[in-house]
Amino acid sequence: MRLTYSKSVLAIALAVPLISTSLMASSNKELKSQIANRAGLTEMWPGAEYNASIPTVKQVLGYEIGQRISSHADMVRYFKALEQAAPSRIKVMQYATTWEGRQLIFAAIGKSDYLSDLDGHAQNMQTLSSQNTIQNVKDSLVNKLPASVWLGYSVHGNEISGTDAAMMTAYYLLAAKNNVEQILDNTLVFIDPLQNPDGRTRFTSRYYSTVGLEHSADRLSAEHNEPWPSGRSNHYLFDMNRDWLAATQPETKGRIAEVNKYRPLVVIDLHEMGGDQSYYFAPAAKPFNPNMTQDQVNNMGVIGENIGAHFDTNGFDYFTREIFDAFYPGYGDSWPTFYGASASTFEVSSSRGELFRKRSGEVMTYHNTVRRHFVASIATLEGASKNRNKLLNDYVNYQNSAVKEGKENKSSRFYVFAEKVNRAGAHKLASLMAEHDVTVNLASEDFKMCGKSYSAGTYFIDSAQPKGRFIKTTFEKQVDMADDFIKEQERRRARKLDNEIYDVTGWSLPLMFGVSVDSCGKAPNIKSTAVDKADTLTGKIVNPDAKVGFVIPWGDMSAGRFLTAALREGIAVKSADKAFQMKGGQSFPAGSLIVERRANSSFSHGALTTKITNLAQQTGALVHGVDTSWVIEGPSFGSNNTPTMVAPKIAIAWDSPVSSLSTGHTRFVIERQFNYPVTAIRTSTLAWANLENYHVLILPNGYYHNALGKSGADNLKDWVKKGGVLITMSGATQFAADPDIGLLDVQRELAISKGEPLYPDAEDKKEALVDGVLLTSKKELIEAVENNKEQPDFVAGILANVEVDQEHWLTAGVKPNVVGLAYGNDIFTPIKLASGKNVAWFAGEEDVLASGYLWAENKKQMAYKPFLIHQPLGNGMVISFTQEPTARAYLDGLNVMFMNTIFRAAAHARPLR
């Protein structure tokens, strides 16, 4: 299910006939027994006959398919058994390893001649995808290539039925004697049975640990209520259905590599949703990403119609078009469309266990949910097989039309970018696009383009390539939703109805990475090399045997990773609060790191040189050796404005009521992007614990009032006063700003008043009687029911322009303008100078929106409101983000700012140690 938090509740109709009232009155043990007797293998596809040489789940694992929630280990064991039984028709391959060391596998199933040359099939699909392939060759390949379908199951670990449905689908394709031959005669099937092994393992171990003498169907039972964090996310608590764009997790990276290799024509992402719903499949809801083609949308409609026919035959309820849209390009069902596939999400109502009672009183079994996903899977394969020729031709047309569209874009066919300061950001953007199979070039010489000069080392991308639409949807600042959709959302908002915007509406990668991109219609005539996803950023050290020490310019993640690596190596490092200029004229920006030989006397001259050289190579940082410490402008090396950095001990709030996503994203950014360890401390422990061993405590987004309360806040306040650095984000900032909590001297704002209410006293005084008012129009009726005091309208997620104070040590090395994600409806008052400083704030009304769709009233009210607040408190400080700078770990352009709040703040605190 795509929802970050459940919008709906649990359950669906049974795959077998609905359980009678008398059956429901039976004990759960009797109920499960009676269901199991008529819910075995034969019920999966009535009338099917199976080849006895192919092992069943029961034979390998000891239970009927759908009778038990299979573990990751059992799933792997079953697929290996299938491969051993039919090695010429199924191949099982590993594509990645999770953070916790579990295998991610996929299986290819097809005729032996297809399976014997999978690499040949992959090469043929690459040839079909290439703009350099002549049309006659493409036509020839279309005539002989099979259709190909990728079925991905259980990307959310607690959406459990997908994995067992994958096992049943594989068994059916290998063992069934009915309509399988007509599918496999011209179709190659790829099955990714479990996209999130770590999350599923978390779910299954907890689920079975709660089961007693009988399974409970009660939604109030522990079986149906997961502890924090749920099994939905992976080890770092990422919702991996939203990671396809940034590709931060090993599971996503491995999957992208395989899908790019084989280029399946149809990609299905199978999920679960609330148990009181039925089953969802294509067509998708509006809005569609405008860079998708009508052929892709139509193809999923055709396959959806075939699924509908099978569901009608089996008596399954279903719906289409109502919830899950196809706008954000980072879903498992949208990313594949940008190489030319037709793709969709399927959602089955979830039992979240072996038994579940719907609100109607009907009882659903796990077998029931597995069966629906299985039937939908086979119906999809059948639909793809019947439409093999059309799918292949549409795929070819997609590649050709993408190239044509790029060539016709006379003003901005080429995207050009290079960063003198944010070298790491530009490199990461280029290598990420290469990972997405976009052709990216690195200039080997200086050149001019559209009247502007660029140096060697500049990246450029030609959008006239098969991945051109992906380039356009990720590089353009704005991707618009359809006018009629926006008009409907504004109408709903005016009526106080929930809007239908499903996820973020802004996601421009250059904006999020803090990389400036130019566009031009003219091709550069220069020597260049293709960027590979495995390319590393080249570090450099000038004057390595310098007498005094080394200076590392601050401003990107190569310098950031140099800092963390140096601190972990025990190297003494200083950081300048302000820009400075050395004797000889060389200038360095604020935040620049200084490594002095005299402060590192424990290392010999040669040993320090070797360490600094190695760190430059490992991190990609630029290092300048200096033979003098004489500074002619700005702070000297020994100034109080050049504090010594500490190797801070960092703690993060962990466990309910903190958002697991916010916690996971934040911990991932620090540990895997900054390369620095973090200690997770349970939130309830923070209410009383002695935190004197920690320099920095991070409170991610969450609802802390019950977990910490006033006494917990006082405990944190005492720690801050003694020299701690408390960093709050989003909901944690809301907690800190509560007047009863008293950690932050700002307040949340109500929505802008729309004028005098027609009933001015009724809401505040709750009087039994109020003066009568004449209503003469529907407009006045709407005004009469308006709430006088309410929060601003909720924002689904836009990219916002943020202005940055350039004279505060907390923003050293941060650009004057950055881009952050704005989500939700919290808007805070600016902090008064007597209490602290507004270090960064949203831009003015006309400029605040960088990408996405923002309500007009929010645009007005957000203008110049704080994004980052600094408040000194005793010997320490509170640093508050009003939004989440680590959201989805894809806001790389905010990483230097976030690093400063940890490492520079720890250096500026004065702990009583």
* Nearest one of 585, 587, 603 to 595, comparing CA atoms: 603
Here the tokens at position 50 are 């199976």
Query: For 230-264, how does the pLDDT look when each residue is reduced to its tens digit (9 = 90+)?
Result: 999 999 999 999 999 999 999 999 999 999 999 99
CA distance 326 to 1: 14
CA distance 869 to 96: 41
Contacting residues for 645 by C-beta, under 8 A, at least 6 apart: 563, 567, 573, 574, 575, 593, 903, 904, 906, 907
| pLDDT for the residue numbered 561 | 98
| pLDDT for the residue numbered 10 | 27
| pLDDT for the residue numbered 16 | 32
Query: For 46-59, how does the pLDDT look when each residue is reduced to its tens digit (9 = 90+)?
Result: 999 999 999 999 99
pLDDT of 733 higher than 50: yes
How far from chain centre, in Å, is Cα 345?
A: 17
- Which value, to the nearest 10 degrees, does the dihedral of the CA atoms of residues 786, 791, 793, 796 take? -150
More confident residue, 760 or 183: 183
Query: For 349-401, how does the pLDDT look when each residue is reduced to its tens digit (9 = 90+)?
Result: 999 999 999 998 989 999 999 999 999 999 999 999 999 999 999 999 999 99
CA atoms in the 13 A half-sphere facing the CB of 185 = 10
Query: For 164-174, how does the pLDDT look when each residue is reduced to its tens digit (9 = 90+)?
Result: 999 999 999 99
One DSSP character per residue, 569-596 reads TT---EE-SS-EEETTS-EE-TT-EEEE
pLDDT of 37 higher than 50: no
| pLDDT for the residue numbered 756 | 67
| pLDDT for the residue numbered 888 | 97
Q: Give 117's DSSP letter.
A: T
Label the pairing between strands 725-729 and 876-881: parallel
* Nearest one of 643, 727, 736, 683 to 899, comparing CA atoms: 727
Q: Give 868's DSSP letter.
A: E
| pLDDT for the residue numbered 755 | 66
Give the number of other CB atoms < 10 A from CB of residue 186. Answer: 18
pLDDT of 553 higher than 80: yes
pLDDT of 773 higher than 80: no
Give the amino acid at 222: A
**Rounded average pLDDT over 745-764:** 75
| pLDDT for the residue numbered 753 | 73
CA atoms in the 13 A half-sphere facing the CB of 486 = 11
Here the tokens at position 850 are 């960088």
pTM of this structure: 0.93
More confident residue, 99 or 5: 99
Share of the chain above pLDDT 90, in %: 87
